[in-house]
Amino acid sequence: MGEILVTNGLHKSYKKHTALKSLSISVKQGQIYGLLGPNGSGKTTTLGILLGVIKADGGSFSWFGKGELDENRNNIGALLETPNFYPYLNAIDNLKIVAAIKSLDNTKERIEKVLKRVDLWKRKKATFKTYSLGMKQRLAIAGAILADPDVLVLDEPTNGLDPQGIAEIRSLILDIAAEGKTIIIASHILDEIEKMCTHVAILKDGALIREATLDEIMIQDKVLCVGSDHREELRLAIEKIPQLKFFKDLDPHMLVTVDGEISNAAVNKMFAENGVYLNTLMLHKKNLESTFLEIVNK
């Protein structure tokens, strides 16, 4: 697979606040690439720089192996933050404006195709102000794919949506990706990233913590749920045992991380040697959220 995007040491500061610290990532063709991190981690700043909305203080990036040329954005569809359309115009008229801005031909055919694609064709004559938030997001994606770009860049595409809206946007993104498109998604909703992405980059305070495939990210130390009749002694034992690391309090139990090569029987023995006898010892099923917390807290 060819490289779609490469960044090298991207840096951005606002007065005394550093929003991005020497960010270097690589996105290849066909990937669904997630930028993960809490609010303020640098996700939106990164996308703003890559789309020419924000000027970096240092570093460089290259789209399609062609550097930072403005013309690269002709092959990129983007949705940054809140969808912006004229509230009193319907879907067709709003997309006609998008087509004109992008100097597209075959406007009628393109608009019909994308509105059917995002399941808004039946509401094509309804004004934008009457749309639900989920419908507004789908119209924004329709505008982003109107020029049939090879890359789609989405900033928090499911933010604020109800469960049905989230499922609809997720299904749409996966459907578009199935055509071989490359998709870059910035989000703090880890459950959705886990269901969509093939590759992820984890950001914290503007710095890259980890970049890998989703499968590689998920292969961290195993998490065990442990419990004892004496919680304070249990916590003290966790602090004393070097092979264990406290992860989370799930009163009355606690989660600890341990190397996957260490057996549960060995863990039980470690506690017993420290005078703590467990009444609970079981593997805790991990998800991207627990793995993410494990990585950023290291």
Answer whether 29's CB lies under 8 Å from 2's CB.
yes
Taking each helix axis from N to C end, the angle separating 133-144 and 91-101, rounded to the nearest 10 degrees, works out to 30
pLDDT bucket at 194, cuts 50 / 70 / 90: confident
Answer whether 23's CB lies under 8 Å from 59's CB.
yes
Is the confidence at residue 285, as pLDDT, over 80?
no
What are the residue ranges of CATH 3.30.70.100 in the chain? Answer: 222-296
d(CA 218, CA 221): 9
- The CATH architecture to which 3-218 belongs is 3-Layer(aba) Sandwich (3.40)
pLDDT bucket at 7, cuts 50 / 70 / 90: very high
Higher pLDDT, 292 or 1: 292
CATH class (in words) of the domain with range 222-296: alpha beta
pLDDT of residue 82: 74
Tens digits of per-residue pLDDT, 16-64?
889 999 999 999 999 999 998 888 889 999 999 999 999 999 999 999 9
d(CA 19, CA 16): 10
Q: Given its phi and psi angles, is residue 234 left (phi above 0), alpha (psi -120 to 50 degrees) or beta?
A: alpha
Tens digits of per-residue pLDDT, 121-179?
999 999 999 999 899 999 999 999 999 999 999 998 888 888 888 888 899 999 999 99
pLDDT of residue 188: 81
pLDDT of residue 221: 65
Higher pLDDT, 242 or 184: 184
pLDDT bucket at 81, cuts 50 / 70 / 90: confident
pLDDT of residue 220: 60
Mind giving me the DSSP string for 6-68? EEEEEEEEETTEEEEEEE--EEETT-EEEEE--TTSSHHHHHHHHTTSS--SEEEEEETTSTT
What are the residue ranges of CATH 3.40.50.300 in the chain? Answer: 3-218
Judged by average pLDDT, the poorest of 54-63, 218-227, 236-245, 289-298 is 289-298
Distances (CA, A) of 36 to 158, 202, 294: 14, 5, 14
pLDDT bucket at 286, cuts 50 / 70 / 90: low
Closest CA to 42 of 15, 79, 63, 14: 14
pLDDT of residue 297: 67
Mean pLDDT of 241-252: 85
State the pTM of this model.
0.76
Mean pLDDT of 202-211: 91
Mean pLDDT, the chain, whole residue set:
89
pLDDT bucket at 258, cuts 50 / 70 / 90: confident
